[in-house]
Amino acid sequence: MLALFSREEFGLNQLLGSLSGTRGWLDFALAVGILLGTYFLAGKLLAKLPDDDGKTYLLRHIWRRTCWPLLMLLAGAAALVAWYGLLGATAVWLRLLVMAARWMLLIRVVLAVFHSAIPANRFSSRMESSLAAALWGAFLLWASGIDDIIIAWLRGLQFSAGSARLSLYTVLTGLLWVGVMVVGAMWLSRYIDTRLKGSKRLDPNLQIMLSKLARTILLILSVLIALPLVGIDLTVLSVFGGAFGVGLGFGLQKIASNYVSGFIILGDRSVRPGDRLTVNNFTGYVTQITARFVVLRSAGGQEALIPNETFITSAVINESYTGKSLWQSLDVQVAYHTDLAQALQILQEAAAAQDRVKTDPPPKAYLIDFADNGINLRLGFWVRDPENGFLGLNSAILLTVWQRFNEEGIEFPFPQREVRILNQELSPDAAALLKAGYRAQGDTASDEVAGSSAEPPR
């Protein structure tokens, strides 16, 4: 059984030469039959699995991806053992099928873990396809034996890093192990993040802070564990420590500041998911807190990415810091002959009738001004869920007020102007002065016309 999983080199001449006899064609037909039979059997088994309902279950996802290659591997290994037992001859196509099934099983497990480790975005599918192509390319090199030539060439390319002597093969192997450990750390950090967010006993800020802290520690440990596995001494990294420190002090100081500021605002709980903030004249709700910035989403759908450092060095208005409810007010104007006590009562009842308005403290209406055209009233109330917006709520309250005012005969005033025409006779002195003024204006106009028609001096 162990020999079934050892590497064997398959060349084109060997595969085509096996088809020169009846056994070769039987071997080929059996391999194709196992390939197709296990494919349809895997489809039947996977059709009975329940849907994920939008959630990602790693084990179920791995089973969906590996069901076919696993069945193909088991069926191919059983057929190969039976072939050796009955005919006592080699089966080239069955051995190739077993080797391909084993490699496909490995690739799909790696891709499933990689898929669950990286965040879903427009580049994740492309990265997954690139990784699959790279793994299949590595399989072809491994099956053909070309990988030994490439490894020997890479080991021959050596260079010095401080007092250590490294080869290109060691560096590439180290990078490969670092990538594997980082992917594993990312998957584990996402699992921890999912478990923390599912806990109802932890504060949301504490959940985010523990998740980011776990991810940072796991990523650092993955690098520190992966490098010694390939024989790279960690003291070699001290050569790059000085340069990295200088770069961190100059080029990466803003990134480091935002990263540290993110932990500070999570620790002191000054900014939490769902808070309503006003930063640089932009008002929105906190939808996400990342290592570098905080995402604010306005009621209109615009999103602002505010650096974490801004919340430490600038003034930020947090309308949800001590409580979620927000105070809102509406202004209404009524005519001067209105019963003000009745109008104020109608305003309070219209607001209290809405489910989104808090009853403790209850809505209050006030008289605020005696204006030119009417009396200004103001209705104030507390909104339970400001994240759902205010336009619909204000419209419902004003519509109720309009209906109640019409029922009670309360008028909404409109601008009015009173014009008085005074028809009084002028006294003799005033009439003489008025006529003299008209005569003076006429003389001035005649002089201007005469002056414009005169010939200009030479």
pLDDT tens digits for 11-25? 555 566 666 667 778
Q: Is the dihedral of CA 125, 131, 132, 133 positive or negative?
A: positive
CATH number of 271-318: 2.30.30.60
Query: What's the pLDDT score for residue 364?
Result: 93
Q: Is the dihedral of CA 47, 52, 56, 60 positive or negative?
A: negative
Percent of the chain topping pLDDT 70: 66
- Distance, CA of 115 to CA of 183 (rounded, Å): 10
pLDDT band of residue 257 (cuts 50, 70, 90) is: confident
Apex CA 51: angle with CA 47 and CA 52, to 5°? 140
Per-residue pLDDT of 158-197, as tens digits, reads 766 555 666 777 777 777 777 777 777 777 777 777 777 7
Strand duo 282-289 + 276-279: pairing: antiparallel
- Distance, CA of 28 to CA of 8 (rounded, Å): 17
Of 154-163, 167-176, 400-409, 429-438, the one with minimum mean pLDDT is 429-438
Query: What's the pLDDT score for residue 400?
Result: 93
Of 112-121, 210-219, 237-246, 290-299, the one with minimum mean pLDDT is 237-246
Query: What's the pLDDT score for residue 458?
Result: 43
pLDDT tops 70 at residue 128: no
Per-residue pLDDT of 280-305, as tens digits, reads 888 888 888 887 888 888 877 888 88
pLDDT tops 80 at residue 5: no
The mean pLDDT of 83-89, rounded to a whole number, is 72
* Residue pair 363/379 in contact by the 8 Å Cβ criterion: yes
Query: What's the pLDDT score for residue 332?
Result: 92
Tell me the CATH number of domain 326-408, given options 3.30.70.100, 3.20.20.105, 3.40.50.720, 3.30.450.20. 3.30.70.100
Query: What's the pLDDT score for residue 189?
Result: 76
Query: What's the pLDDT score for residue 121?
Result: 55
pLDDT tops 80 at residue 219: no
pLDDT band of residue 106 (cuts 50, 70, 90) is: confident
- Distance, CA of 434 to CA of 139 (rounded, Å): 112
Query: What's the pLDDT score for residue 161?
Result: 57
Mean pLDDT, the chain, whole residue set: 75
- Distance, CA of 284 to CA of 311 (rounded, Å): 14
pLDDT band of residue 204 (cuts 50, 70, 90) is: low
- Distance, CA of 422 to CA of 444 (rounded, Å): 31
Using CA atoms, how far residue 452 sits from 439, 441, 455, in Å, is 21, 17, 8
Residue ranges per domain, the chain?
7-144, 271-318, 326-408
Per-residue pLDDT of 346-396, as tens digits, reads 999 999 999 999 988 899 999 999 988 889 999 999 998 887 888 889 999
Q: Cα 415 to chain center, whole Å?
A: 51
Query: What's the pLDDT score for residue 142?
Result: 67
Give Dmax over CA atoms of the chain in angstroms.
Answer: 145
447 versus 194: the higher-pLDDT residue is 194
